[in-house]
């Protein structure tokens, strides 16, 4: 196997892995603060893609505007969902929230089917990102390169938001000790709403970002979410770093397996996960019992 092939497989694994990391970081953010494992993530991945599709088709906007709109609309939807139903689950066991958000996901996906049908929609990559770069003997699509950059930008944008802003400070404080933060007279419930909104906004924009590769249909997020769960199982449930590292590992595994045995690409992710938890059940960064 020559070096250029390895390099191109590596890049393609990184681009897939960054998408996993982006979606898993939304899960990690929501779990870290709210103690909610959001099964509904997959429904909002599809909602984001459909919002983008609608903006591009009905309003004639370009892909870039659609990305922003998907992020904002799904984020606002998330804030609404948090206020109306998710807020009733605080203090419950994460498993309860898992079952509840599963019900929510099933309902939202069915609503998507009612509104948009089950047809498969295709959106194309914006013209600025078509084509591929060829250097050092490798050919790599522009769009995949763009995916790496934008996922990394979003990922570190959220990280900066948490580290450098006042709202981020409140969120981090509330993750550490919700009661004490509230006792200091800081409105924690706003932080909850913002966090859930951001988590879902990441799912929404992620959905539109992968849409040119997977197509748009109501269950498009499901397989992706199950892989993201594998990411969180390996990386630890509330861990940002875990989401990034485990996401990249799984992306690279599926990319390298594809070249040897394409039919095993998906299976290999789960086999790796099974082996991993057999030998290291506590995950990479997670504390055992954090979600138990």
Partner 1 sequence: MLSAFRKVWATNVNKSIIVAVVLLAVLPLIPYVPYAIAIDVLIFGLLALGYNIVQGHMGQVSFGLAAFFGLGAYFAGLFAYHVDIPSSAAWIWLILSVAATGVVAFGMGAVVLRRRGAYFALTNLAFLQMFYYIILQLKDITGGDDGIWGISTPTFGAIQLTPMSLYYLCFVVFVVCLLLMKRMILDSPSALVLHAIRQDEARAQSLGYNVYGQMLKAYTLSGVFSGVAGAMYFLEMQYIGLSYLHWSLNGEVIAMVMLGGSGTFIGPLLGAGILIVLKDVVSMYTIHWMIIVGVLIMVVILRMREGILGAFKSLRF
The residues of the shown chain that bind partner 1, judged by CB under 8 A, are 37, 85, 88-89, 93-96, 98-100, 102-111, 113-114, 222-223, 226, 229-230, 232-233, 237, 263-264, 266-267, 270-271, 273-274, 277-278, 281, 289, 291-292
Nearer to partner 1 (CB atom), residue 93 or residue 163: 93
Nearer to partner 1 (CB atom), residue 5 or residue 107: 107
Q: For residue 135, what are the β-bridge partners?
A: 138
Nearer to partner 1 (CB atom), residue 60 or residue 262: 262
Nearer to partner 1 (CB atom), residue 89 or residue 208: 89
Q: What six digits make up the tokens of 202?
A: 């990441």
* Residue 254 CB, nearest approach to partner 1 (Å): 11
CB 61 within 8 A of CB 51: no
Hey, is 20 helix, strand or coil?
helix
Distances (CA, A) of 102 to 37, 95, 180, 197, 203: 10, 10, 31, 18, 16
Closest CA to 155 of 16, 15, 34, 21: 21
Nearer to partner 1 (CB atom), residue 68 or residue 266: 266
Distances (CA, A) of 100 to 6, 27, 83: 43, 15, 15
* Residue 247 CB, nearest approach to partner 1 (Å): 15
d(CA 57, CA 149): 26
Nearer to partner 1 (CB atom), residue 7 or residue 291: 291
Nearer to partner 1 (CB atom), residue 113 or residue 142: 113
* Residue 42 CB, nearest approach to partner 1 (Å): 10
* Residue 284 CB, nearest approach to partner 1 (Å): 13
> Which residues, other chains included, contact 196 with Cβ-Cβ below 8 Å and sequence gap of 6+?
30, 34, 36, 78, 79, 81, 82, 86
Can you count the helices (H) and strands (E) in the chain?
11, 2
* Residue 108 CB, nearest approach to partner 1 (Å): 8
* Residue 104 CB, nearest approach to partner 1 (Å): 6
Nearer to partner 1 (CB atom), residue 125 or residue 226: 226
CB 79 within 8 A of CB 30: no
* Residue 18 CB, nearest approach to partner 1 (Å): 20
Site of tokens 């050919």: 139
Q: For residue 140, what are the β-bridge partners?
A: 133
* Residue 193 CB, nearest approach to partner 1 (Å): 19
Closest CA to 49 of 266, 169, 226, 221: 221
């Amino acid at each position: 196997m020559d070096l250029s092939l390895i390099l191109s497989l590596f890049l393609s694994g990184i681009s897939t892995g960054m998408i996993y990391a982006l979606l898993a970081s939304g899960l990690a953010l929501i779990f870290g603060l709210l103690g909610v494992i959001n099964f509904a993530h997959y429904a909002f991945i599809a909602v984001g893609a459909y919002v983008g599709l609608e903006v591009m088709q009905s309003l004639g906007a370009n892909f870039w505007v659609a990305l922003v709109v998907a992020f904002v609309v799904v984020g606002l939807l998330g804030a609404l969902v948090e206020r109306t139903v998710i807020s009733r689950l605080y203090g419950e066991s994460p498993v309860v929230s898992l079952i509840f958000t599963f019900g929510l996901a099933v309902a939202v996906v069915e609503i998507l089917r009612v509104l948009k049908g089950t047809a498969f929609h295709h959106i194309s990559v914006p013209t600025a990102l078509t084509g591929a770069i060829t250097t050092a003997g490798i050919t790599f699509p522009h769009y995949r390169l763009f995916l790496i950059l934008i996922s990394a930008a979003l990922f570190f944008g959220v990280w900066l938001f948490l580290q450098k802003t006042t709202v981020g400070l409140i969120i981090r404080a509330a993750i550490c000790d919700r009661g004490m933060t509230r006792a200091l007279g800081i409105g924690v419930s706003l932080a909850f709403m913002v966090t859930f909104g951001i988590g879902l906004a990441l799912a929404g924009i992620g959905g539109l970002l992968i849409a040119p590769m997977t197509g748009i249909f109501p269950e498009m997020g499901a397989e992706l979410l199950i892989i993201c769960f594998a990411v969180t199982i390996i990386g630890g449930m509330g861990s940002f770093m875990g989401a990034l590292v485990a996401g990249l590992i799984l992306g690279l595994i599926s990319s390298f397996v594809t070249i040897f045995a394409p039919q095993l690409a998906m299976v290999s992710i789960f086999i790796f996960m099974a082996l991993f938890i057999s030998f290291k059940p506590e995950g990479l960064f997670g504390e055992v019992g954090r979600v138990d």
